[in-house]
Chains A and B, each alone.
Chain A
Amino acid sequence: MQILANIVVLTSLYALVACGYVLVYKVSRVLNLAHGELMILGAYLLVATSAGIASDPLVAIALTAMFSIVVGLSVYLLLMRKMTGQPVLAAVLTTVALGILLRGAMVLIWGPQQLNVGAMISFDNASIALTDSVRVSTAALWLVVCTFLVYLGLLAFLHMSRWGMRMRASGQNALLAAQRGINLHTVYALAWTLSTFSGSLAGVLVTLDSRIDVNMAVIGLKAFPAALVGGLDSLPGALIGAGVIAALEVLLIHYVNPLLSDVVPFLVLIAILIVRPWGLYGTKEELNRV
């Protein structure tokens, strides 16, 4: 049972990170390879907020969420906006550069050592007993709840609001979207903002459960196969992909060898690319993307 709880928690983490890849890819066909770094930046923003502005954990987290929206918007306006209409490869390479830049900047500002963010904002990460034998930490519980709410919110937004529809429409046919009066810049800015927001949320929640250093950006890379397994342009697909990767990872760690943890996602990635390159739920005609 404890294993099941661990799988659910890890699924939530991968799913929350993966939806950021999906959002940007779905509307603009751009793979954001800086997503892991943006996620960790969210956690460092919490460090900065709690040190400088607010000491109450909830206020600090809320402020961090707002800053992450500003970050997402700036990344689009200052950087990716110029890439609109350029070959997709150029945009992807720009995100690689952004990732490297962010990593360097974060080391410069906050140092290479591990920080204990939970202690800094005096967050009480008590272990909660779900049943007699199953325990999860408070932060992990938050993570599961937040992921659930984020997915619910995103799906409702994409399918029930006009701007959500416009995001789906622009992803399917950007030219036609422009021909129907939709401002592509607004749509892309929205995608980057939502993506960075959900990524930062994941970063914040994961650091409350452990310590943080720049190398944790690798979680972004491990969640990428989750998005790809699901097809990269499907939110439910990303959720299922996250489940598959998390389950395999937890089970292999438990029954085979803990050292496998970092390889599992990429083994699954390769397997999927060979068997079903368009993912479990992705649009089939996107085959030429890889």
Chain B
Amino acid sequence: MTDILEVTELEVTYQRSIRALHGVNLRVAKGQITALLGANGAGKSTTLRAISGFIGLDNARVTAGNVRYLGEDITGLQLPKTIHKGIVLVPERDKVFTNLTVAENLEVVSTTRAEGSNWRQIEEEIFVYFPRLAKLRNKPAGLLSGGERQMLAIGSALVCKPNLLLIDELSLGLAPVIVDEIIERLRDIHARTDLSILLVEQSAAVAFALASYGFVLENGKVELEGATQDLRTNQKILELYLGTGSAGRADYLANARRRREERANV
């Protein structure tokens, strides 16, 4: 199997001093969905941003390592050049233009790959994937629910005609029903196109439902990788993301409550 993306020993530094990645190694196989798991601050978003390109405002730099896409070295390539090569990101926050309508959010996209094509037709294609959006066509995106925003964000990324789609936090903050619907839609899109996807997730369940291979990021380094059926039974993953994860949170909440009560008693 050939890789569409190959990241080796990638290091990224913010503001010339804050090192966020300490040599990340990962690969995305062509036509496959690959998951990138990790706790808060592990460097997942930074990894995706480094692949899809920074802009001057980010004040971020790739300081070592490289990114190869379709065999070509694209390390440090900035936006929007990466888009024209077919690498498109669905960002974690601020993923739609809130002052534009749903239809405008799709039309505003600019890539040589989509330019000149028939706009109605492109919109209709997206509405086939996300029928819910068709009814919201003329609504400002700022008024959409979280789930609808995520659909629109994926839709507008698809208008860029990606070969490699990077999705940052697919399920974050969404209700389980909506997450199921979006997973369903993504599977459908993936089945109909030869799209390769790199998916960042905090929920191992969502990642396992979609991906065939996964990487686990910790403190800016890949600590673990493997086919999802192997990861599923991996003891470390179980501890980190499935069993003790939520139990740990419950403990924390209980402790916090106890501490508050103690303070109140003093």
Contact = CB atoms under 8 A, between A and B. Distances in A.
A269 interface: no
B83 A165 contact: no
B100 A85 contact: no
B160 A180 contact: yes
Interface residues of A, number: 21
Contacts of A182: 80, 108-110
Contacts of A162: 107-108, 110
B100 A183 contact: no
B99 A178 contact: no
Nearest to B80: A181
A169 B89 contact: no
B140 to A, nearest CB: 11
B49 to A, nearest CB: 9
A119 B180 CA distance: 74
A162 B107 CA distance: 7
A178 B80 contact: yes
A184 B56 CA distance: 11
B94 A173 contact: yes
Given A84-B56, A175-B57, A181 B98 contact: no
B241 interface: no
A85 B56 contact: yes
A169 B100 contact: yes
A168 interface: yes
Interface residues of B, number: 30
Given A84-B56, A178-B79, A179-B52, A173 B109 contact: no
Contacts of B58: 175
Contacts of A4: none
B55 A85 contact: yes
A122 interface: no
How would you classify the secondary structure of chain A's contact residues: helix, strand, loop or mixed? Answer: helix
A14 B156 CA distance: 39
Nearest to A162: B107
Interface string A71-88: 000000000000011000
B79 A169 contact: no
A174 interface: yes
B99 A181 contact: no
Select the residue from A84, A162, A165 with max chain B CB neighbours within 10 A.
A165
Given A85-B56, A181-B83, A176 B95 contact: yes
A155 to B, nearest CB: 14
A85 B110 contact: no
Contacts of A169: 97, 99-100, 104, 108
B214 interface: no
B111 interface: yes
B91 interface: yes
Interface in A144-182: 162, 165-166, 168-169, 172-182
Nearest to B142: A172
B13 to A, nearest CB: 16
A179 B79 contact: yes
A164 to B, nearest CB: 10
Contact of B84 (A172, A175, A181): A181
Contacts of B88: 179
A181 B97 contact: no
Contacts of A85: 55-57
A283 B97 CA distance: 14
A84 B78 CA distance: 14
Contact of A184 (B55, B95, B114): B55
B7 to A, nearest CB: 19
Contacts of B56: 84-85
A177 B57 CA distance: 13
A132 to B, nearest CB: 47
Contacts of A84: 56
Interface in B176-228: none
B91 A180 contact: no
A180 B55 contact: no
A174 to B, nearest CB: 7
A180 B82 CA distance: 10
A181 B91 contact: no
Interface of B: 52-53, 55-58, 79-80, 83-84, 88-89, 91, 94-100, 104, 107-111, 114, 156-157, 160
25 contacts: A85-B55, A165-B104, A165-B108, A166-B108, A168-B100, A169-B97, A169-B104, A169-B108, A172-B97, A173-B94, A174-B55, A174-B57, A175-B58, A176-B97, A177-B108, A179-B52, A179-B79, A179-B88, A180-B80, A180-B108, A181-B80, A181-B83, A181-B110, A181-B160, A184-B55
Interface of A: 84-85, 162, 165-166, 168-169, 172-184, 283
Given A173-B97, A180-B109, A183-B110, 16 more contacts: A85-B55, A85-B56, A162-B108, A168-B99, A169-B97, A169-B99, A169-B104, A174-B57, A175-B57, A176-B91, A176-B94, A176-B97, A177-B97, A178-B80, A180-B160, A182-B80
- Which 5 pairs from chain A and chain B are nearest by CB? A85-B56, A178-B79, A181-B111, A181-B83, A181-B110
